[in-house]
A and B are shown apart, each in its own frame.
Chain A
Amino acid sequence: GESVGLHLPTLSVQEGDNSIINCAYSNSASDYFIWYKQESGKGPQFIIDIRSNMDKRQGQRVTVLLNKTVKHLSLQIAATQPGDSAVYFCAENTGTASKLTFGTGTRLQVTL
């Protein structure tokens, strides 16, 4: 029979435009959040993290925004490049242990 897998939402962005990937997290006690990028055939790669005492953190071409009121996390990528094409995961941690809970992921497609 036909197998049903996770349906990854897909974001299609033109090269040079900015990308915004969103994530809703589940646990209001979570106090540490990470964004990962996973390219085909590779493991998840750490991009940027943020602690719950912050609402914004910037890296190189990336910005993470945290809204604890609505339990929402976003990743902004400036001037998106073809090399940014990948699946992006958010992950949350409640701080009392090392366990991360991962979201289902968003596929980013960069068009030329």
Chain B
Amino acid sequence: DAGVIQSPRHEVTEMGQEVTLRCKPISGHNSLFWYRQTMMRGLELLIYFNNNVPIDDSGMPEDRFSAKMPNASFSTLKIQPSEPRDSAVYFCASSLSPSGNQPQHFGDGTRLSIL
């Protein structure tokens, strides 16, 4: 069975450029989560969606970050303009239920480097 699929796996770009990270959740899952992982701060929740609707974006660092989920099988996280401090590994996860009693399943992440 296909798990959560993220692309690209690695992204290196110069500061100021727009970065778009993509995620395909597990089919049938109706909750989707975007996380950022750094050595300094560990794993941080940025935003999550239930049934394609953003529920909580309180973890989004600032207005340069935006996320969309146009349909049940696709989500994007966009950074515009990007800055060196955005360098991190970004994970997408999905779960079967919004009730909170189902495990989240993670993709293998996008390693982002902003020069």
Contact = CB atoms under 8 A, between A and B. Distances in A.
A90 B93 CA distance: 16
How many interface residues does chain A have, given as a range?
Answer: 20 to 34
A6 B42 contact: yes
A97 B103 contact: no
A98 B48 CA distance: 8
Interface stretch (A40-48, A55-63, A76-84): A40-48
Contacts, number: 69
Decide if the interface of chain A is mainly helix, strand, loop or mixed.
loop
Interface residues of B, number: 29
Given A95-B99, A97-B100, 18 more contacts: A6-B39, A6-B42, A36-B106, A42-B109, A43-B91, A46-B104, A46-B105, A93-B100, A93-B101, A95-B100, A97-B56, A98-B50, A98-B55, A98-B100, A98-B104, A99-B56, A102-B43, A105-B42
